[in-house]
Amino acid sequence: MIKYNLICKCGKTFESWFAGSREFDSLNKKKLVKCIYCESYSVKKTVMAPRLSKKSNQLSKKNKFEKNLKKQLLDFRKYVEKNCKDVGDQFSQEARSIHYDKKSSKGIYGKATAEETAELREEGIEVATIPWIDNSEN
């Protein structure tokens, strides 16, 4: 989950949670992101200023940390792909059928919207949101 500061054309800013930046983009495209003040749909993400460190060694330490983190996430992705079944957009249905019918013990992975994820959790189904890192970005 990621928290964005949003700004509306009315000039007000507010915060909202999304599964990721793609989630925000797709919801916003479908006009599902609404200003909490004036109910307009002309909402944008505010630009986040990167925190620049004055000391360059701190910066390189941070880069190293990010590289490590990225590698771990990539390894994790490989592990999931190897050991779990990709159910794509059918994720919430598949998760329910495993939970209620106890059909298969094999893990699954796929895509779900923030709403679907929240519904599954309400039903007591364990769902983990993981950062799905792209292999091609190096």
Residues at the contact surface with Zn ion, assessed by CB under 5 A: 8, 10, 35, 37-38, 40
Minimum CB separation of residue 6 from Zn ion in Å reads 9
Minimum CB separation of residue 31 from Zn ion in Å reads 14
**Residue whose CB is less far from Zn ion, 12 or 70:** 12
**Residue whose CB is less far from Zn ion, 10 or 59:** 10
**Residue whose CB is less far from Zn ion, 37 or 65:** 37
CA atoms within 13 A on the CB side of 18: 17
User: Rounded CA gap, 58 and 62, in Å?
Assistant: 6
**Residue whose CB is less far from Zn ion, 1 or 10:** 10
Strand 85-88 to 108-110 pairing: parallel
Minimum CB separation of residue 4 from Zn ion in Å reads 15
Minimum CB separation of residue 25 from Zn ion in Å reads 19
